[in-house]
Structure 1
Amino acid sequence: MIELKNITKTFTGKQGSIHALKDVSLSVNQGEIYGVIGYSGAGKSTLIRCVNLLEKPDNGSVKVNGVDLTTLTPGKLREARSHIGMIFQGFNLLKTATVYDNIAIPLKLTGLDKKEVKSRVNKYLEIVGLSEKQNAYPAELSGGQKQRVAIARALSHEPEVLLSDEATSALDPDTTEAILDLLLKINKELGITILLITHEMNVIQRICDCVAVMENGEIIEEGRTKDIFTSPQHSTTKRFVNSLFSHDIPDDLLEELSESGQVATLSFFGESSGDPALALVTKKYDIFPNILSGNITRLKDEAFGQLLVHFKGDTAEINKAIQFLQEKQVHVEGVTLNERHQRIS
C-alpha cells in the first residue's frame, strides 16, 4: 500500500545543512496500522510529510497503491492526494466555520454536489460521534472533539490511507485513549490503512501492528510490534520499551542478587501470558524465583506482560528452568548491571 525506497531529504539554512532523512526505506501493507516512533529531531515528521509529498524528497521513490507520487504531474498529484487523508497535532480547523462547514467546505472545493456533501458530512460525523455538534464552532469544543472533527474531515474524502502526524500528543491521557479507540474502529470497520508518527510508546502499544524506530534521520529498528516489544535490539528501542515497563531497582541490590543467582526479564505474550509457567518452575526445578517487579498490558488485541525475576539457586538448575520457560513461549533475557544501565540510560 505504502512503499518508500531510499528516501533522502536535506534542509539548508543559516546553520548549514540538516540531513533530515538518510536513505530511508519503509513498507506498509494494506489494512495495517503502522507506527513510526522517535525522539524530537529523529526525522519522523519529515518522513510522514514525504508520503503525500508535502515535503518532496531529494532522492528515492514514494509509492502509494503502486503509484510513484514523485513522478506525477501537479494535476495527477492532486488527484492522488485525494486518496490520502491526514490529521495533525494542531487540528487545523477554521475558527470562524461551524463543525459542519469545516468538513463541508473542502468537499465543496472538490466539486461534489450539495446532496453528496451533506451525506458525507453526516456520515462521518456519526462515525466520530459528533453528530450533535455540527452547528458548534471550534472554540466551543474540547481538544478531543476538535481532533474528532479533523478526523471526520479527513475521512470525508474517503481515502485509502490515513496519515496521523502526532495526532494525540496535545491531548490528555483519557482523550488519547478515546482517539486511539476511534482509529482502531476506522481501521477495522472502514479498512483504511493508517501510518502514524509519535514519540509515545503507549500509542504504538495500543494500536500498531508494526513499528519502525527512527533516530538521526534513519530507521534503526523495525518489525512486528510483538517482536519489537519482546526482543528490542537497539538501545534506543530498549529505552522506549522500558518507558512502559520500568524495572528500576538499586544497583547495589542488583549486584547482591546476581551473586546468589540470575536476574532476568521475562516477557509473556498472548497465550503464554495466561499460562502459570513461573509457578510450574518451582515444582520442576530446585530453584526459588522471586518476582522483583512486573506489569501487564495489551499490544493491540493481545495481552503482553513483563516480569523482573531473581532466580536463586544452582546455575545448572536455573539454566534448565530458563530453557523450560522458553519452551513455554516465554522470552527470557538475562539482566546484568551493564545491560541495565543501557536499558534506562
Structure 2
Amino acid sequence: MIELVGISKTFAGKKGSIHALKDVSISVKKGEIYGVIGYSGAGKSTLIRCVNLLERPDIGAVNVKDVDLTKLSSGKLREARKSIGMIFQGFNLLKTATVYDNIALPLKLSGLSKQVVEERVEKYLRIVGLEQKQFAYPSELSGGQKQRVAIARALAHEPEVLLSDEATSALDPDTTEAILDLLLKINKELGITILLITHEMNVIQRICDRVAVMENGEVIEEGKTVDLFTSPTHPTTKKFVNSLFTHNLSDELLDGFNETGQVFTLSFFGQLSGEPTLALVSKKFNVFPNILSGSITRLKNESFGQLMVHFKGDAGEIDKALRFLGEQQVHVEGVNGSESKNRRVS
C-alpha cells in the first residue's frame, strides 16, 4: 500500500545542512497498522510528511497504491492525496467553525453535493462517537474530542491510507487509550491502512502490527512488533522496550545477587506468559529462581512479559535451565556482569 524507496531529505540550517532522512526505505502492507518510533530529531515527522509530499524528498520514490507520487503533476497529485488522510498532534481545527463545519468544509471545497456532505459528516461523527457535538465549537471540546473531530475530518474523504503524526502526544493517558481504541476500530471496520509516528512505546505496543525504529534520519531496526519486543538488537530499540519495564534495581544490589548466582532478564510472549515456566525450572533442575521484578503488558494481539530473575545453584545446572527456557521460546539475557545468554527457539 505504501512503499518508500531510498528516501533522503536535507534541510538548510544556520549551522549547515541538516540530513533529516538518509536513504530510508519502508513498506507498509494493505490493512495493517505500521508504527515509526524515534526520539526527537530522529526524522520520523519528515518521513511521514514525505508520504503525501507535504515534504518532497530530494531523492527516492514514494509509492502509494503502486503509484510514485513524486512523478505526478500537481493536478494528479491533488487527486491522489484524496486517498490519504492525515491527523496531527495539534488537531488543526478552525476555531470559528462548528464541529459539523470543520468536517464539512473540506468536502464542500472538493465539490461534493450537499447531500453527500451531510451523509459523510453524519457517518463519521457517528463512527468517532460525537453525534451530539456537531454544533459545538472547538473551544467547547476536550482534547480527546478535538482529536476525534480531526479523525472524522480525515476520514470524511474516505481515504485508503490514514497518516497519524503524533496524534496522541498532547493527550492524557486515559484519552490516549480511547483514541488508540478508535484507531483500532477504524482499521478493523473500515479496512484503512494506518501509518503512524510516535515517541511513545505504549502506542506501538497497543496497536501496531509492525514497527520501524529511527535514529539520526535512518531506520536502525524494523520488523513485527512482537519480534522487536522479544529480541531487540539495537541499543535504542532496547531502550524503548525497557521503558515499559521499570526494574529499579541498583547496580550494587545486582552485584550482590551475582555473587551468589546469576541474574537474567527473561522475556516471553503469548500463552507462555501465563505458564508456570519458572516453577518447572526449579523442579527439573537443581536451581532456585528468585523473581526480583517484572510485569506483563499487552501487545495488539498477545501478551508480553519481562522478568528479572536471580538463579542460585551450580553453574552447570543453571546452564541446563537456561537451555530449557530457550526451548520454551523464552528469550534470556544476562544482566550486569552475568554471562550473556541469548537463546530463543521459535
TM-score bin (small chain): over 0.9
| Contact in 1 for aligned 2:161/2:193 (Cα 8 Å) | yes
Task: Please give the alpha-carbon distance, in whole angstroms, between the structure 1 residues aligned to 2:210 and 2:55.
Answer: 24
Q: Which amino acid aligns with 1:97?
A: A
Shift of the alpha carbon at 1:202?
0.5
Match of 1:167 in 2: 167
Match of 1:252 in 2: 252
SS in 2 for 1:94: coil
Stretch of structure 1 that moved more, 242-251 or 121-130: 242-251
Match of 1:317 in 2: 317
Match of 2:99 in 1: 99
- Give deviations 1:226-261, integer Å, cap 9, x for gaps: 010111111111111111012221111211211222
Match of 1:67 in 2: 67
Q: State yes or no: 1:132 paired with 2:129.
A: no
Match of 2:269 in 1: 269
Change (3 A) 1:70 1:39: same
Match of 1:200 in 2: 200
- Give deviations 1:73-96, integer Å, cap 9, x for gaps: 000100110000000000000111
Shift of the alpha carbon at 1:171?
0.3
After superposition, residues 158-307 of structure 1 pair within 5 angstroms as: 158-307=158-307
Q: TM-score normalized by structure 2?
A: 0.96
Task: Please give the alpha-carbon distance, in whole angstroms, between the structure 2 residues aligned to 1:213 and 1:246.
Answer: 21
Q: Which amino acid aligns with 1:197?
A: I
Give the number of equivalent residue pairs: 340
| Contact in 1 for aligned 2:2/2:27 (Cα 8 Å) | yes
Task: Please give the alpha-carbon distance, in whole angstroms, between the structure 1 residues aligned to 2:204 and 2:280.
Answer: 32
Q: Which amino acid aligns with 2:107?
A: L
| Contact in 2 for aligned 1:287/1:318 (Cα 8 Å) | yes
Q: TM-score normalized by structure 1?
A: 0.97
Match of 1:334 in 2: 334
Q: Which amino acid aligns with 1:136?
A: A
Q: State yes or no: 1:81 paired with 2:86.
A: no
| Contact in 1 for aligned 2:41/2:216 (Cα 8 Å) | yes
| Contact in 2 for aligned 1:89/1:166 (Cα 8 Å) | yes
| Contact in 2 for aligned 1:266/1:306 (Cα 8 Å) | yes
SS in 1 for 2:154: helix
| Contact in 1 for aligned 2:258/2:338 (Cα 8 Å) | no
SS in 1 for 2:9: strand
Shift of the alpha carbon at 1:13?
2.8
SS in 2 for 1:54: coil
Q: Which amino acid aligns with 1:31?
A: G
What are the ranges of 5 or more consecutive residues in structure 1 without an aligned counterpart? Answer: 341-345
What are the ranges of 5 or more consecutive residues in structure 2 without an aligned counterpart? Answer: 341-346
Task: Please give the alpha-carbon distance, in whole angstroms, between the structure 2 residues aligned to 1:263 and 1:31.
Answer: 41
Shift of the alpha carbon at 1:217?
0.5
Match of 2:344 in 1: none
| Contact in 2 for aligned 1:251/1:337 (Cα 8 Å) | no
Task: Please give the alpha-carbon distance, in whole angstroms, between the structure 1 residues aligned to 2:226 and 2:279.
Answer: 24
Task: Please give the alpha-carbon distance, in whole angstroms, between the structure 2 residues aligned to 1:48 and 1:62.
Answer: 11
Match of 1:343 in 2: none
SS in 1 for 2:329: coil
SS in 1 for 2:63: strand
SS in 2 for 1:301: coil
Change (3 A) 1:62 1:301: same
| Contact in 2 for aligned 1:4/1:25 (Cα 8 Å) | yes
SS in 1 for 2:54: coil
Task: Please give the alpha-carbon distance, in whole angstroms, between the structure 2 residues aligned to 1:198 and 1:98.
Answer: 29
Question: Percent of pairs identical after alignment?
Answer: 78
Q: Which amino acid aligns with 2:116?
A: E
Task: Please give the alpha-carbon distance, in whole angstroms, between the structure 2 residues aligned to 1:51 and 1:320.
Answer: 50
| Contact in 1 for aligned 2:263/2:338 (Cα 8 Å) | no
Task: Please give the alpha-carbon distance, in whole angstroms, between the structure 2 residues aligned to 1:31 and 1:323.
Answer: 38
Q: Which amino acid aligns with 1:157?
A: H
Stretch of structure 1 that moved more, 11-20 or 54-63: 11-20
| Contact in 1 for aligned 2:258/2:337 (Cα 8 Å) | no
| Contact in 1 for aligned 2:9/2:58 (Cα 8 Å) | yes
Q: Which amino acid aligns with 1:56?
A: R
